[in-house]
Amino acid sequence: MNTRNLLRSASNCLSAALVLAVATSAVTCAAPPDQAQAQAEPEGPQILQIESQGSRAFAGTRVYNPDVPDGSRFLSCDHGIVDWQIPPGARNTPLVLTHGSGIRVYQTTMDGRPGFQSLFLGEGYAVYLVDYPGIGRADQGCEAYTYTPNLNANSVFENRIGTWPVGQPQPTYFPDVAFARDPETLNQNFRVQYQDSFMDTQAHRVLEGAALAVLLEEIYAEGQERAIVFNHSSGSVSAFRAGLNTDKIAGYVSFEPGNGAALFPEGEVPMITLADGTQISAGSSLPLEEFRTLAAYPQLFIWGDNIPAEVDPTSTTEPVLSVRAERFKLMAAALNKYGGDAVNLYLPEKGIFGNTHRVMADTNNTEVAEQIKLWMAEHGLDR
């Protein structure tokens, strides 16, 4: 039995169906899928139908115990973990959701409302949630590492939710921030971030990209079409690397991708000038043929709110994101120069305000999802 058929429901509605108050076009379980199209939209909470769901490891390797020469003792490691949910009559294009914080950012918002996993499942997409090798549920790595607790981790708050200077007991929220201000939402925000600084090396990002490519090949072999890869922050580095290892990608949706993810052809890496006149590189380079490979995939780079318009090198928190947004403006131009279709979407320009670095988990995530759906429809990826 192939993976897609695992846990297949014996009836049209999965037992213990998920009932969520989501603004989607999902049908109810009151009738088979072929009849439900004729029904009126249900009022109140809608029922998400799931034909199959599951979880598995992908990619990885084995490290054998040198003291046991018969090969019977080993460690299975450097694999990723994926969860999936597939609705009845799923659209052809699956969504593979990768993260740079923790998988929770796609499951529910910080204040506990349905996340992208449910919103897009309700729109008929098969949804796959990924932890890269060495991260989160897939932390069984082949190499040893040292974890050092960060006692200043509340700096995560400053991912444009507001400011929290040292010596100030409570944070100051941005006036329009799309983040609930109750204590429990803030508490949940602090418990989302995976610790992956020990994996943040070029070699490990290459490993992660190769592993994701294996998963994309598996999904395609199971009968799906090429997938749209959602990615976020530092995880974007690995997502783009996957595109160099497989052609089973329909496009990329990138949420404020990390600095190290900006790529350019060799010999064509531009410089960025800071406000004090200092010049820094816009990113790293790839051989031209590899860059052309990336240019073949439609790309949507999404940016939230409260990003300074000018790069201020004296600020302790602002310049990183200002520079990052500039980097991907330049990367989009380079992709388009070589036949690509890349665009930067600045949400305030669409009347969507207050988004933080975790764009997909903010209180206005349904509005963000609508923008993504428009982009997918424009590129024929909503079939």
Phi, psi (rounded to 5 degrees) for 61: -150, -175
The three-point CA angle 167-172-173 to 5° equals 155
Question: pTM to 2 decimals?
Answer: 0.85
List the domain boundaries for the chain. Answer: 81-378
Amino acid at 74: F
pLDDT of the residue at 308:
72
For 262-319, the DSSP string reads: -EEETT---EEE-TTS-EEE--EEE-HHHHHHHHTS-EEEEE-S---SS--TT-SSHH
pLDDT of the residue at 111:
94
pLDDT of the residue at 29:
33
* Tens digit of each residue's pLDDT, the chain (383 residues): 443 333 333 333 333 334 333 333 333 333 334 433 434 444 555 689 999 999 999 999 999 999 999 999 999 999 999 999 999 999 999 999 999 888 999 999 999 999 999 999 999 999 999 999 988 888 888 888 888 887 876 767 778 898 888 888 888 999 999 999 999 999 999 888 887 655 667 787 889 999 999 999 999 999 999 999 999 998 899 999 999 999 999 999 999 998 788 999 999 999 988 777 888 899 999 999 999 999 999 999 999 998 876 655 554 444 456 788 889 999 999 999 999 999 999 999 999 999 999 999 999 999 999 999 999 999 999 98
The three-point CA angle 362-363-367 to 5° equals 90
Residue found by looking up tokens 């410089």 in the block: 271
| 191: its two tokens | 């418990």
Residue among 126, 106, 125 at smallest CA distance from 4: 126
pLDDT of the residue at 310:
62
Residue pair 4/220 in contact by the 8 Å Cβ criterion:
no
81-378, CATH topology level: Rossmann fold (3.40.50)
